[in-house]
Amino acid sequence: MTSWAGRTAAEIAAAVREKRVTPREVVAEHLARIELLDARVGAFRHLRATAALAEADEVAARTDLAELPLAGVPVAVKDNLAVRGESTRNGSAATPDSPADEDHATVARLRAAGAVVVGLTNVPELCVFGTTEGVHGTARNPWDTTRTAGGSSGGSAAAVAAGMVPLALGNDGMGSLRIPAANCGLIGVKPGHGVIPAGIGHGDWFGMSENGPLATTVEDARLMFSVLAATDVVRAEEPVTRTVAVSVRSPLVGITVSRRYAAAAREAGELLAGAGHRVRRADPPYPVWLGATSLVHWTAGTAVDAEDLDLRRLSRRTRVHATVGRRFVESVRGGARREQLRERMKPFFAEHEVLLTPALARRGPAAADWHKRGWLRNVWANSNYSPLTPPWNLTGWPAMAVPFGALPSGAPCSVQLVGLPGSEGTLLELAGQLEELRPWRRTAPLGAAREGS
């Protein structure tokens, strides 16, 4: 019997369209895998088993089944985006447990394309930190369950990496999609500003936060991205030579990149050079004030999201984060520093079409009760392992994590690609070439689901 858990979204959708399998069969297999594995991984805050099977039957009955790009594909949704009929808890005890009246725009687009939402995934409280744990559970890296899946889209990334779903919806305000993608060996795409509907929290962290796909293959990432952006991002028929800058320098003063992550970026650059691209070593002109600016925007975004909540019901680290940020909200709203950073970076990207960096500075921290630890300890742990993602939220430019090689533990390593607004297709194109030149294992070896190629 063919197993559908562990297959790619593209394979599943094609089989459903051709009626070689029903959406109910596909969803049922993935629900069984979740039941088998999630106690070890902690990906889901809420599973919609009964509702998902009923919605799978609705997909099967659609008259446009043969045209649906995600026909019958199970997806997971990050628990800060509304799913009709379900509560949105945002990782907190301070949020209301009341069902949403409507789907978030991105969820609605996935459903219109034939996807079936199987559950809502765990996040750190208010999606603030780069580790995922709290009152609703701890999301672990399926490749090494002693380590965090990352954050704040940690549950979504863990679900995909464990083969519980082929696709998941996440979002990224300071790296919240790319960090867990890098930890868990996935493609994670943070689009440029305005490409995919945002509507995250109260103001999208001043426009810095974007929704995007988590997937195990570039083909699946391109497919989901096209649905979310409501535009076809097709693969180029002929390779296009790109100018690529490789940088292993940390944007934040005082933080260094570990040897393995730096080596991954250099090796990826060498592969792209061998494929005909113009690749050279060049560091972006990161300003010395970038670290302080990142912290100011990070805390201010949390302060806005916490405005309507009972602060006494927040964990201490979140409460302190919001309190620190409150004094910066008005200055951040103007966007002067973000515009200054964009202007500073434009000459570099006029010379180089794409920037290639390590995705992280080092492996993710231990899966632990970080929500019970002090604020400074959390801020340091987050900044120390993920200094390379925040600049591109501040600029609002597209960036993505791409699996590349492995750490000594056997867990995935990862690189980051960055481009100017509108370059998502270019980044996917280069990611696809890296995938062909250095294929990665798609799902963690937690169970017996078929991995595919």
Domain ranges of the chain: 9-437
What's the confidence (pLDDT) of residue 2?
A: 67
Q: Would the pTM count as exceeding 0.95?
A: yes
User: What's the rounded mean pLDDT across residues 310-323?
Assistant: 97
- Give how far Cα 102 sits from Cα of 93, 133, 263, 419, Å: 22, 27, 46, 34
Torsion of CA 157, 161, 162, 168, to 10 degrees: 50
Per-residue pLDDT tens digits for 347-373:
999 999 999 999 999 999 999 999 999
- Catalytic hit among 92, 153, 156, 176: 176
Check if 152 is active-site.
yes
What band does 452 get if pLDDT is binned at 50, 70 and 90?
Answer: very low
What's the confidence (pLDDT) of residue 450?
A: 36
- The SS3 call for residue 76 is strand
Per-residue pLDDT tens digits for 107-132:
999 999 999 999 999 999 999 999 99
Say which residue the tokens 């533990």 belong to.
409
What band does 35 get if pLDDT is binned at 50, 70 and 90?
Answer: very high
DSSP state at residue 419: E
DSSP state at residue 311: G
Distance CA 449, CA 325 (A): 45
What band does 447 get if pLDDT is binned at 50, 70 and 90?
Answer: low
pLDDT at 137 over 80: yes
What band does 410 get if pLDDT is binned at 50, 70 and 90?
Answer: very high
Supply the mean pLDDT for the chain: 96
What band does 264 get if pLDDT is binned at 50, 70 and 90?
Answer: very high
Check if 190 is active-site.
no
User: Which residues neighbour 200 within 8 Å (Cβ) at sequence distance 6 or greater?
Assistant: 80, 81, 171, 173, 209, 210, 211
Check if 176 is active-site.
yes
- Catalytic hit among 92, 152, 209, 250: 152
Distance CA 433, CA 439 (A): 10
Q: Which of 289, 266, 259, 323 has its CA nearest to residue 391? A: 289
Neighbouring-strand partners of residue 245: 280, 355
Q: Does domain 9-437 have CATH number 3.90.1300.10?
A: yes
What's the confidence (pLDDT) of residue 234?
A: 80
DSSP state at residue 251: S
Say which residue the tokens 């972006």 belong to.
284
What's the confidence (pLDDT) of residue 117?
A: 99
- The SS3 call for residue 352 is coil
Checking DSSP bridges between strand 243-246 and strand 354-358, what pairing results, if any? parallel
What percentage of the chain reaches a pLDDT higher than 90?
Answer: 96
Neighbouring-strand partners of residue 402: 415
pLDDT at 21 over 50: yes
CB of 404 within 8 A of CB of 436? no
pLDDT at 448 over 50: no
Per-residue pLDDT tens digits for 167-226:
999 999 999 999 999 999 999 999 999 999 999 999 999 999 999 999 999 999 999 999
What band does 453 get if pLDDT is binned at 50, 70 and 90?
Answer: very low
pLDDT at 451 over 80: no
What band does 266 get if pLDDT is binned at 50, 70 and 90?
Answer: very high
Neighbours of 339 (CB within 10 A): 13
